[in-house]
Amino acid sequence: MKIIIFGPQGSGKGTQAELIARHHGWSYISTGDIFRYHLKNQTALGKKVDKYVSSGLLAPDELTNEIVKDRIFQPDCVSGFVLDGYPRNLAQLEFLNKIAKIDFALAIELSDEEAIKRLADRWACKCGLSYHLLHNPPKEPGICDKCGLPLFRRDDDKPEAIKKRLEIFHQETEPLFAVYNKSGIWHQVNGDQPINEVYRQIDDAIHHHLG
């Protein structure tokens, strides 16, 4: 099953995508995590996208499209994947349509006010997991439950970058909802509920869709 997951910054895309993928044995792909890996390791790609990602702007489509194309054709994606953070604009959607047939598209709804509050208390791990001091704390403070690495604050979780990211979401990504809504593979879930409840509703929708 090939799933894409949409939602404003802080809505819980990464949190839910990781749970879905782990539960079903599908691969979890986050374009944001891929960019952060390249930034941290100062690869050629990392150097090219630094100024965009750190300030909350979208990386150039040509680079992003190539990354996704490389990733979704890896052997671990054959049984299925959950794609978090792509496509984010019409050009990316058109590219994705040429290389993959998506089975299910999902959006997590959350107000900007709530999203901003959540990001203020998010701690991230480089393995892709996100924690929240109140709603999803790690077992040991500052350490990832899954891989034992120290947690960090993301560079783009500063107020100016959050504002920019939300603006881009509303201007460029939200218009894609109408396209998927017409396709019969679309589902929206209220993200302003506890993590387990959001997950339960998403999983029900996936099972319903699978028939």
Binding-site residues from annotation: 10-15, 31, 36, 85-88, 92, 122, 125, 127, 130-131, 144, 147, 154, 165, 193
CB 156 within 8 A of CB 54: yes
Query: Which contiguous run of DSSP H or E holds residue 124?
Result: strand 122-124
Q: Shortest gap between Cβ of 69 and ligand AP5 (angstroms)?
A: 12
Residue 10 contact among ligand AP5, Mg ion, none, beta carbon within 5 to 8 Å by kind: ligand AP5
Choices 8-16, 45-53, 106-114, 202-210; region in contact with Mg ion by CB under 5 A: 8-16
Q: For the residues of 28-73, what is the DSSP string, one character each?
A: EEEHHHHHHHHHHTT-HHHHHHHHHHHHTPPPPHHHHHHHHHHHHT
Compose the 12-31 pattern: x for residues touching Mg ion by CB under 5 A, - for all others.
Answer: --x-----------------
The 8-class DSSP code of residue 140 comes to: S
Collapsing DSSP to helix, strand or coil, 126 comes out as coil
For residues 181 and 193, which CB has a smaller minimum distance to ligand AP5 in the complex?
193
For residues 82 and 206, which CB has a smaller minimum distance to ligand AP5 in the complex?
82
Choices 27-35, 74-82, 141-149, 175-183; region in contact with ligand AP5 by CB under 6 A: 27-35
Residue 128 contact among ligand AP5, Mg ion, none, beta carbon within 5 to 8 Å by kind: none
195 contacts ligand AP5 (rule: CB under 6 A): yes
Lookup: tokens for 174: 């939200």
Query: Which residues belong to the active site?
Result: 13, 88, 122, 154, 165
In angstroms, the Cα distances linking 14 to 18, 42, 75, 125 are 6, 23, 22, 12
201 contacts ligand AP5 (rule: CB under 6 A): no
For residues 102 and 115, which CB has a smaller minimum distance to Mg ion in the complex?
115
Q: Shortest gap between Cβ of 56 and Mg ion (angstroms)?
A: 13
CA distance 85 to 47: 20
In the block, residue with structure tokens 């539960």:
23
Q: What are phi and psi of 62, to 5 degrees?
A: -60, -40
CB 94 within 8 A of CB 39: no
- The binding site for ligand AP5 (CB under 6 A) comprises 7, 9-15, 30-32, 35, 52-53, 56-59, 64, 85-86, 88, 92, 118, 122, 130-132, 135-136, 156, 165, 191, 193-195, 198
